[in-house]
Structure 1
């Protein structure tokens, strides 16, 4: 078990690196969407990452599960942690800025703490955690704007889609704890990506048709980045940090992602966010910091 109070300099460096990798993935996905439809974009992400992770699993000679129950759990996990959130967030990025999508994605941690408190007896909402969750939700509402929530246009719909993806990530974390405990993390990640790929292939063929490989170099570069680096590579890094620093400290990566996405979106695509987005992120960040401090009083 990891003591939440201890985190090494190496863990901080790798945590920062993970934040940079995931922050840049929002720009890469947006670049791919210039040429690819949404489901094809998602299929490229899960398929190539799946191949890389299975290669690592085989190279390390990790045991591959044979139980149909486990593979069924992989299928549900792939739906909740990949197919639904990747699809919703990619569609959302067609109509909102990359930085805004990254800010709303940070609500994953808020949703995760709330769902865990509902499902697990050992994850109750203490006063400090309740304060953090409340600030986080207030930050989300501020980012979107109450007036925009009442409008039924593509921009407000896109923001809600990204939030839907964040909520799906939170559901996936609960599902993983209930059904995938005891498995090597890399095997679970490879199995999850296999499940999501099996779901996305028929959906892509039905909606987008057979994917073309005759793509612009910039599109292939974007696919290579978000599929190999920001998905397969990020999973490998994620589990290293989890082992070194614990889940409470790992939550801090959500604070690093939006600034990276905002800066890259502004520099590469001239994206500009409304002032309320920065105010909302500040409130969301404060809520996440409070949740992190509260987690230091527990053992992972």
Structure 2
């Protein structure tokens, strides 16, 4: 398996910022659509639109899509870990949790990735700064969730746990997806194969559970949200995702969730009128400190001044 950059350069950070904008917008798009479209239908339409867009883009760009069965088996595993499970859990959770809070809880992804990668990947073993970052980050998540919500096992808590479960699935996907670099598969082909398999799995679930797809008269704002979710927050986002995963590794890639809450919170507060409490902002700040500590440069810059 080829080596990855432990610290990212300007190109990687630029892609990370773009990915944060695309994924931060996904929580905003879901918040618009969830009142008119069922959770599973949203997820299904998201990946179908992304698959169509990626196949068209691959054809125009001259990217060859592999046909070997082992590769498509790997695409299927990646689809379940990176799309089917987390997309479904997040959309289900957002019925009871707003876009801003959902994005903050999703920021547990890099902490969970540190743990999973530390066990599974030789070149991403847990270092002291990563251990400290994980501990600080989990304190931030605990502050956001709140002790009274943990005691009261209600629907709100279950929705939050669903989003944290999605973060764990993303962490496993980030670690599993490292194998595509060893296979020497173009990141665009990986993104195309992943969402194609996601579409097939979700189509089966839609048929089995008899999920109704939205009618044409649900409103243009909902359709625009679904298009934005599929084309930008999925198709374009996963091209960037696999390029970053190839060059920067799973732990660095999933630092993107530091930036996603900022984008989602800004959109949720400015457009949807959502509100966050002081504990939510304090928890988000702790999550940010934890992620910067995992990156390592925060401690390097601070130590000489101590």
Residue 229 of structure 1 and its aligned partner are, at CA, apart by 1.0
Cα deviation per residue 1:178-201 (whole Å; 9 max; x = unaligned)? Answer: 467322111111111111111111
The TM-score, its normalising length taken from structure 1, stands at 0.89
Which blocks of at least 5 consecutive residues in structure 1 are unaligned?
none
Cα deviation per residue 1:38-71 (whole Å; 9 max; x = unaligned)? Answer: 0000011100001111222222322322222221
Between 233-242 and 157-166, report the one with greater CA deviation.
233-242
1:111-130 correspondence runs (5 A): 111-130=112-131
1:214-253 correspondence runs (5 A): 214=216, 215-239=218-242, 250-253=253-256
For residues 56 and 253 of structure 1, the distance between their equivalents in structure 2, rounded to whole angstroms, comes to 24
For residues 126 and 5 of structure 1, the distance between their equivalents in structure 2, rounded to whole angstroms, comes to 14
1:203-222 correspondence runs (5 A): 203-214=205-216, 215-222=218-225
The aligned residue for residue 144 of structure 2 is 143
Aligned CA distance change for structure 1 residues 255 and 192 (closer, same or farther; 3 Å)? same
Q: Is the 8 A contact 1:248 1:295 kept in 2?
A: no
The aligned residue for residue 26 of structure 2 is 25
**What is the CA RMSD across the aligned residues, in angstroms?**
2.5
The TM-score, its normalising length taken from structure 2, stands at 0.88
Residue 206 of structure 1 and its aligned partner are, at CA, apart by 3.1
Cα deviation per residue 1:262-290 (whole Å; 9 max; x = unaligned)? Answer: 12111222211232211111111111101
For residues 71 and 5 of structure 1, the distance between their equivalents in structure 2, rounded to whole angstroms, comes to 31
Aligned CA distance change for structure 1 residues 245 and 180 (closer, same or farther; 3 Å)? closer
Equivalent residues, number: 296
Q: Is the 8 A contact 2:129 2:293 kept in 1?
A: yes
1:145-294 correspondence runs (5 A): 145-178=146-179, 181-182=182-183, 183-214=185-216, 215-239=218-242, 250-293=253-296
Q: Is the 8 A contact 2:44 2:203 kept in 1?
A: yes
For residues 148 and 179 of structure 1, the distance between their equivalents in structure 2, rounded to whole angstroms, comes to 40
For residues 39 and 232 of structure 1, the distance between their equivalents in structure 2, rounded to whole angstroms, comes to 18
Q: Is the 8 A contact 2:187 2:243 kept in 1?
A: no
Q: Is the 8 A contact 1:5 1:296 kept in 2?
A: no
For residues 167 and 62 of structure 1, the distance between their equivalents in structure 2, rounded to whole angstroms, comes to 31
For residues 134 and 203 of structure 1, the distance between their equivalents in structure 2, rounded to whole angstroms, comes to 37
Aligned CA distance change for structure 1 residues 67 and 17 (closer, same or farther; 3 Å)? closer
Q: Is the 8 A contact 2:116 2:172 kept in 1?
A: yes
Q: Is the 8 A contact 2:117 2:251 kept in 1?
A: no
Cα deviation per residue 1:222-274 (whole Å; 9 max; x = unaligned)? Answer: 01111101111222344555678776654443222112211211122221123
